[in-house]
Amino acid sequence: MPDGVPLLKPRTLRDPAALVEARLVPPEAEPGLRQVAEQYAIAVTPAVQALIDPSDPADPIARQYLPDVAELTTLPAERSDPTSDAPFTPVKGVVHRYPDRALLKPLLACPVYCRFCFRREVVGPDGGLLTEAELDAALDWFAATPQVREAVLTGGDPLMLSPRRLAHIVQRLSAISHLDIIRLHSRVPVAAPERVNAALVDALQSEKALFLCVHANHAREFSPVAKAGLRLLTRGGVSLLGQSVLLRGVNNTQQDLENLFRAMLASQVKPYYLHQLDRAPGTARFEVPIAEGRQLLRQLRGRLSGLAWPTYVLDLPRGAGKAPLGPDFAHEVAEGWVVDGPLDRADYAYPDLKKTSQEAEF
Ligand code: SF4
């Protein structure tokens, strides 16, 4: 660094002026983005800034995190609560949609604010931290609801809690005898990897089966620092899953998805869900048609280890749950089944022996 050049301390950028100053958006974009910032939170961490190539107008990292005036347009099909959390909230901070599992949302703050977020109307830096009394009531609800076997910590991002507060929640949940599984969903390992340290790993120790589901959408998010944090977690006995959203301009090519799932597996992150975009306000530019998503996954079958294969799901409106979207490789016919070959794309007849006396043709 030459003499006289001030050393700028990397910081999280939280408004359009800061994005302009960092040369991540052009100055002429600032007025429009100020309107976006009035509606939706912005945060671009130093780790994310380091991943963005400002010379690439189609940069897949920038597209996920930098605001865009397109967010000011809401389509008729877009809903402020697309997954219907509110009607399934028995006490503040809890969402109980499925019989055997429930969400616990201890806060609504995140390290970054993704431009396609399905909870974008509620997440933000002032974000919904449950008071001690509210958290107690939420944990008491879990203790008093024996059909719930799995607690899913989400938000916001539960890894934004201090390790002390996170450990308190994990321990309280671990002490509930009917809970078998604690699952946490987080963007922190890729978007704020400096938060992954020994104290965090300690906070995630539990006698119950505990899974950390890492949200990442592009292979480049697995930076050397992110990979080091993930290694710390796996060495600390934390089982890792991956969740991604299928996003136009970020990962909607065969090569991008292949690279993403390979990057996950290389860090011992098992791809779990690939989400169809939830239609939250101002997110239409990210939507990939379901037919295209199914085709992308079909192309990957056979190219990738089965370990890398996530379930492609759509969260249905009105809280009807996550439906797998395929693709299907088997079609029923009169004599049995026709199965698509994942390697040669040929159709194979597989007779149903109850319907026919023929031998299978494999
Ligand atoms: S980290 Fe998750 S909850 Fe937070 S803005 Fe991104 S998608 Fe939404």
Q: What percent of the chain has pLDDT over 70?
A: 96
**Concatenated DSSP letters for 21-70?**
HTTSS-GGGHHHHHHHHHHS---B-HHHHHH--TT-TT-HHHHHHS--GG
Q: Half-sphere exposure of residue 324, counting CA atoms within 13 Å on the CB side?
A: 8
Q: Nearest-CA neighbor of 185 among 73, 269, 287, 267?
A: 269
Residue 101 confidence (pLDDT) above 90 = yes
Give the number of other CB atoms < 10 A from CB of residue 125. Answer: 14
Ligand 1 pocket mutation pick from 39, 117, 118 by most atoms within 8 angstroms of CB: 117
Any idea which of 61-65, 76-80, 192-196, 260-264 has the lowest mean pLDDT? 76-80
Residue 144 confidence (pLDDT) above 70 = yes
More confident residue, 127 or 167: 167
Per annotation, catalytic residue among 63, 79, 101, 270: 101
Q: Half-sphere exposure of residue 238, counting CA atoms within 13 Å on the CB side?
A: 31
Does the Cβ of 117 fall within 6 Å of ligand 1?
yes
| Distance (Å) from CA 115 to ligand 1 centroid | 9
Residue 20 one-letter amino acid? V
Does the Cβ of 304 fall within 6 Å of ligand 1?
no
Q: Whose structure tokens read 């219907």?
A: 84
C-beta of residue 14 within 8 angstroms of C-beta of residue 56: no
* Nearest protein CA to atom 8 of ligand 1, as residue: 117
Does the Cβ of 119 fall within 6 Å of ligand 1?
yes
Tens-place pLDDT, residues 280-329? 999 999 999 999 999 999 999 999 999 999 999 999 988 889 999 999 99
Label residue 355 by pLDDT band (50, 70, 90).
confident
Q: What is the DSSP letter of 141?
A: H
Pairing relationship of beta strands 311-316 and 321-324 according to DSSP bridges: antiparallel
C-beta of residue 100 within 8 angstroms of C-beta of residue 79: no
Tens-place pLDDT, residues 208-241? 999 999 999 999 999 999 999 999 999 999 999 9
C-beta of residue 348 within 8 angstroms of C-beta of residue 335: no
Angle, CA 299 vertex, CA 293 and CA 301 arms, to 5°:
105
Give the C-alpha separation, 219 to 256, whole Å: 7
Label residue 8 by pLDDT band (50, 70, 90).
very low
Q: Domains of the chain by range and CATH?
A: 86-324 (3.20.20.70), 329-362 (no CATH)
Structure tokens at 1: 């660094």
Say whether 348 is catalytic. no
Give the C-alpha separation, 87 to 81, whole Å: 10
| Distance (Å) from CA 82 to ligand 1 centroid | 14
Strand order from edge to edge, sheet including 330-333: 330-333, 336-340, 347-351
Say whether 187 is catalytic. no
Residue 9 confidence (pLDDT) above 60 = no
Indicate the pTM of the whole model: 0.94
Answer left, alpha or beta for residue 342, where phi above 0 means left and psi between -120 and 50 means alpha. alpha
Atom index in ligand 1 nearest the CA of residue 111 equals 1
Label residue 2 by pLDDT band (50, 70, 90).
very low
